[in-house]
Amino acid sequence: MANPSINQGHHQAHIMIKLTHSESFKKLFFTLFSVVILLLSVNVPGTLAANNDEDYLAVTTENPNIDLGELEFSLTPLTKGELTIEVDAWLAILKARATIVSEAEILVSQKQKKILAAQEISDISTESAILLDKSKNDKAAAKELKEDLDEIKSLARDIKHKKADKAVDELSKTPESLNQLAKKADLYSHKMQKRRELLIKNLTQLREKKNDALERFQLVLSSWESKGGDGTELHLYANALSGTNVDLTDSDAAWLTIKGWLLSQDGGLRWLANIIKFTLALFFIYILSRTAGKITDAALNRNSNLSTLLKLFIKVSVRRVILIIGFIVSLTLIEINVAPVLALIGAAGLVVGLALQGTLSNFASGMLILIYRPFDVGDIIEIDGVTGTVHSMTLLSTSIKTFDNQHLVVPNNNIWGTTIVNVTGSRTRRVDLVFGIGYGDDMVKAEKIMLDVVSRHELILENPAPVVKVNELADSSVNFVCRPWVKTENYLDVYWDVTRQVKEEFDKQGVSIPFPQRDVHVHQVAEITEK
């Protein structure tokens, strides 16, 4: 008899095998299904992609007043072909609005001509009413009256108004009728002027709408160019439509146009806001540069390894870099494209660099001086036989004040290209003195006098110890060298003090200091007399 537990175990194992096969089949099915979907979703270059572009309809023009930021986000995922359709759609909107503006400008010009014609009819009618009485007895007045009436008819035809033609045709050549015509012409001129002013106000709004479309068109055009499109001709078209045309010959229209632009949200008010933002940005950048300069100065003062010249250069450079970058960035607040400005700066830099090679050489030398620090502000240096104190330095030149208070400005290229002697480059300095005594004087006594003088002087350093030694047996003296060490700033004081004190001590203790002498020997030769 079979064991039930064994049969149950086989049954469970069989079920597990079926489940395992079932799960494997499901996994295989889902894998194949995913591959098929992936293959179907892949676009074949030149076929499906092209069909998608051909079937694509512009979506960004559904709202012609779409926000610029939203429009930019909408353009980002579009392909070049889709952007081509978007450019065409916005071009159509821009062209339609520009056409409406042009038609409105033509209408304003036509109304101005009618107003001028009506005003001239009024003036001529008034003059003709006066001539009418004279024309009865004066042939010249009659001729002039006839010319005026013909001019009135010609002007009435220029107005192209039925009432104007009818009023002239019904003219009965009486002073009353002529005066009545003048009043009607004035009334017509006044009404036309009102309509014209209203039309100019509407024209300002139409220009704003055109400029809005132009701004969005340029954004779409830039996005299209960034993905390979060539928009040279379209940029020329857009530039031709930019700006506002003002007829300066028509003072009323010019003033109304300017006034409307100044009060429009996309005109004067917009530029006023931009200028305010630009001014505030410049003020903020100035404060930021001053603050950054102070922070940089405080940080550099903690580093004693940097020279004063380098610290000053870094501080000024930080301030100027912030000012320049901030100014260029602030130009975007007044809607100036900084890309051409940067390109212009680069081109100008190349031209200036070629023209100012000597100046650039001084600039490079100034940078090397700042990096290698052969001297600092306040140091006494000697360059090409000129000795003085470094007063200040720029990247192009170094200012030196001589001891007689002359102000020298030396190009950095001249300084870097020659030997620089930094007199105060070290903290201590040796004073080299030479004293001579006579051959008959006591050398030990003289040496002791000099050692006593240098040991008593408070400015002479004990370490290194001063040196007093016989150095030379000269023609007329025995020369000693006296070499005490002092702090650099005390060099001249010690030099002068020791020289004076040694001379005074030599005189007190009977040690002579020889000076050059010349002995002249005269030989007398007896005169030989011939006999």
Dump the DSSP string for 38-65.
HHHHSPPTTTHHHHHHHH----GGGSTT
- Model pLDDT, residue 4: 42
In SS3 terms, 259-328 reads as HHHHHCCCCHHHHHHHHHHHHHHHHHHHHHHHHHHHHHHHHHHCCCCCCHHHHHHHHHHHHHHHHHHHHH
Q: What is the pLDDT at residue 448?
A: 93
pLDDT at 445: 93
* Mean pLDDT of each 10-residue bin along the chain, 531 residues long: 41 38 44 42 36 72 87 90 91 90 81 77 73 66 69 68 57 67 77 77 79 88 90 88 61 62 66 86 91 87 75 83 88 76 72 67 82 84 87 85 89 86 88 93 93 93 92 90 93 93 93 77 63 45
CA dihedral 412, 416, 417, 418 (to 10 degrees): 110
Instruction: Check if the beta carbon of residue 156 is closer than 8 Å to that of residue 181.
Output: no
Question: Going by C-beta distance under 8 Å and a sequence separation of 6 or more, which residues neighbour residue 257?
Answer: 200, 203, 204, 244, 246
DSSP string, 151-193: HHHHHHHHHT-HHHHHHHHT--SSHHHHHHHHHHHHHHHHHHH
Residue 43: Cβ-neighbour burial (10 angstroms; 0-12, 13-18, 19+): exposed
Q: At what angle do helices 139-159 and 162-169 cross, to 10 degrees?
A: 160
Both tokens assigned to 165: 């033609």
Residue-level pLDDT at 456 = 92
Measured distance CA(266)–CA(271) in Å, rounded: 8
What pLDDT shows up at residue 460?
A: 93
CB atoms within 10 A of CB 309: 21
Cα diameter, the chain: 189
Give the whole-angstrom CA distance, residue 182 versus residue 155.
Answer: 13
Q: How far apart are CA 179 and CA 1, in angstroms?
A: 141
